[in-house]
Amino acid sequence: MNCATRLLALTGLLTLTAKAASACPACMSTDPKTAGTYLGMTLMMSALPLGLVGGLAYWLWRHYS
């Protein structure tokens, strides 16, 4: 297990320690799907620019090399 994996595992564990809070718009919803929607959209918005630039970089790399 190298340093990066350990760090990632630790990150995962830490996130589980948090409890629901009343300041959290998704936590108090009666519908469990709401929290999932927030998580899904956060993931999409985080991953999309990385995916787009990855795709663009791959396309350029193919054409320039």
Partner 1 sequence: MSAEAHHAEPGFFRKYLFSTDHKMIAMQYLFTGMIMAVIGGYLAYVFRMQLAYPSQQVPGYGVVSPNEYNSLVTMHGTIMIFWVAMPVLLAAFGNFLIPLMIGCDDMAFPRINRLSYQVFFLSAVVLLASFLVQGGAFGGAWTSYPPLSAKGAYNLTPVGASMWLVAVALEFVAFLLGGINFVVTTMNGRAPGMKMYDIPIVVWMIVLATIMFMFSVGPLIAGAVMLLFDQLLGTGFYDPGRGGDPLLWQHLFWFFGHPEVYVVLLPALGIVAEVVAVFARKKLFGYKTILHTAWAVWVLSFVVWAHHQFVAGIDPRMANVFSITTLLISIPLAEMVFVYIATLYGGSIRLATPMLWALAFMAEFLIGGVTGIFLGASGTDIYFHDTYFVVAHFHYTFVPIAIIAVFAGLTYWYPKMFGRMLNETLGKIHFWGSIITFNVIFIPLFITGTAGDQRRIYSYAQFAEQARPALQHLRVVSTLALLVFIAFQLIFVFNFLWSLRHGQRAEANPWMANTLEWTVPSPPPHGNFADMPTVYRGPYEYATPGRREDFWPQNVPN
Partner 2 sequence: MSSPSPSVDATVIMSIAPGARRPSNAVLGTAIFIAAETMFFAALISAHTIARATAPGGLWPPANQPRLPVQQTAVNTAALLLSGVLLWVGARIADKASEVAKRCVLGAIFLGVAFVSLQGAEWIRLLRQGLTLTSSSHGGFFYLIVGTHALHVAGALVALTWAYFGMLRNSVSPAVYTASRLFWYFVVLLWPVLYLRVYL
In whole angstroms, the minimum distance from the beta carbon of 1 to partner 1 comes to 18
How many chain residues are in contact with partner 1, going by CB under 8 A?
26
Distance CA 26, CA 15 (A): 16
In angstroms, the CA 4 to CA 9 distance is 9
H or E element that contains 41: helix 32-64
Q: Name the binder of 31 from partner 1, partner 2, none, CB < 5-8 A by kind.
A: partner 2
59 binds partner 2 (CB under 8 A): yes
Kindly identify the residues of this chain, within the stretch 3-32, that bind partner 1 according to CB under 8 A: 11, 14-21, 23-27
Tell me: does residue 13 bind partner 2 (CB under 8 A): no
CA–CA gap between residue 35 and residue 47 (Å, rounded): 18
